Amino acid sequence: MTETAAGTAQLTNDLVLPYLNHAIRMYAEGYASRDDIDAAMRFGCGYPVGPLAAVEELGLEKVRDLLAAQYAVTGDELHKPAALLEQRVQEGATTLAAADGSETAAPQLRHDVRTVGVVGTGTMAAGIVEVFAKGGFDVVFVGRSQEKLDGVVAGITKSLDRAISKGKLTEEAKAEVLGRLTGATEREALAEVDLVVEAIAEDLAVKTQLFSDLDRICKQGAILATTTSSLPITTLAQTTSRPEWVIGMHFFNPAPVMKLVEVVTTASTSAEVDETTRALCSVLGKVAVSCGDRAGFIVNALLFPYLNDAVKALESGRADMATIDAAIKEDVKLPLGPFELLDVVGNDVSLAIQKELHAEFKHDGFAPAPLLEQVVAEGRLGRKTKRGFHDYS
């Protein structure tokens, strides 16, 4: 191996190993199951293999030794081999643990769900409307103006027309989907829905006001779901008189394409609401993974520290962006390099999530990279502004 190749391999290890270590800790804590952690990263990020499976493919002892070497250099607790990893190596194991248990039964619909409400008219909201309508549900969607509502219908129509042009949908099926849509400018239109999913701005004050409204408007027995990616669902539940009916249903963008939904329960969410929500995901053709209510859930908690570490590697002068992006794609077979992905997500969104993770986990290693803060301060937010880490003008 040439000196350059060795340096690139070391860089890749230094970025990927903490991600694997964090996934092992997440599993050891019982935050999410082994299968759900791996499925979340495969279906949420398009990774070829989940982190726990990757550790076992590389070899537990090898991963432990590489992390120990990284920890010896950095002294960062995030690089110290997870206790479970050390334990399994000492036991001579080749897997992180035995299977999670006997095969669990498929989730069932414990509550009748026929009509779904969606609050919001942005890209995510429109995608969720389309997913439920295509899944056979009548959908009432609420926006601030008729123009916004018309935009949702126009976007869904365009999506359905694309499917027709590819031979994946018929004109009759298109008419059926559009016939299931009802737009409204007043939240009171949600009075009789069986499930409502909010997909409005990531602003806690705005969302809590909405949940208070939904509690007043929606019938008893309606499930109140949020697709928040970073805000505390428990806080939203506490604004209602029915916290047991509140749950997270975190779709990934674009919702009609992405298979993953993180189903997030609070301490108050009822088991039947949880099971019904997971069963609904199956009806929609989605992959549901279960986790508790804490910052980042599964995907963001594992993804963004890795992206943040890539920014730190750039600002330290270890390598340029092109080298880092190429190394990750070539060595780990990820679909996008970290800077390409940051620009797709939006650097402002990435910074906000990293701040949430830092506040939640209180690891110095999770502090946002100064360069990420600088890029956001300069308005270089990514593809949406034509400039981010890369230039798209």
Alpha helices (H) in the chain, listed in sequence order: 3-28, 34-45, 51-58, 60-74, 83-90, 123-134, 146-165, 171-179, 204-217, 233-238, 271-283, 299-315, 321-331, 338-345, 347-361, 370-377
3-state DSSP assignment of residue 47? coil
What distance in Å separates the CA atoms of residue 342 and residue 155, rounded to the nearest whole number?
25
To the query of whether residue 33 is one of the catalytic residues in this protein, the response is no
Contacting residues for 189 by C-beta, under 8 A, at least 6 apart? 117, 140, 142, 182
To the query of whether residue 300 is one of the catalytic residues in this protein, the response is yes
Handedness of CA 163, 164, 166, 167 (dihedral sign): positive
Asked if 225 and 249 count as a contact pair (C-beta separation under 8 A), the reply is yes
Which is the catalytic residue, given 159, 250, 350, 358?
Answer: 250
What distance in Å separates the CA atoms of residue 104 and residue 96, rounded to the nearest whole number?
20
- Catalogue the long-range contacts made by 326-332 (C-beta closer than 8 Å, 24 or more residues apart): 327/8, 327/11, 327/12, 328/12, 328/15, 328/16, 331/8, 331/9, 331/12, 332/12, 332/16
What distance in Å separates the CA atoms of residue 260 and residue 119, rounded to the nearest whole number?
20
Which is the catalytic residue, given 22, 159, 230, 262?
Answer: 262
Which is the catalytic residue, given 21, 290, 300, 308?
Answer: 300
Handedness of CA 232, 217, 262, 169 (dihedral sign): negative
Candidates 186, 249, 198, 191; CA nearest to 220 is 191
Which is the catalytic residue, given 13, 21, 229, 230?
Answer: 229
To the query of whether residue 347 is one of the catalytic residues in this protein, the response is no
Active site residues: 229, 250, 262, 300
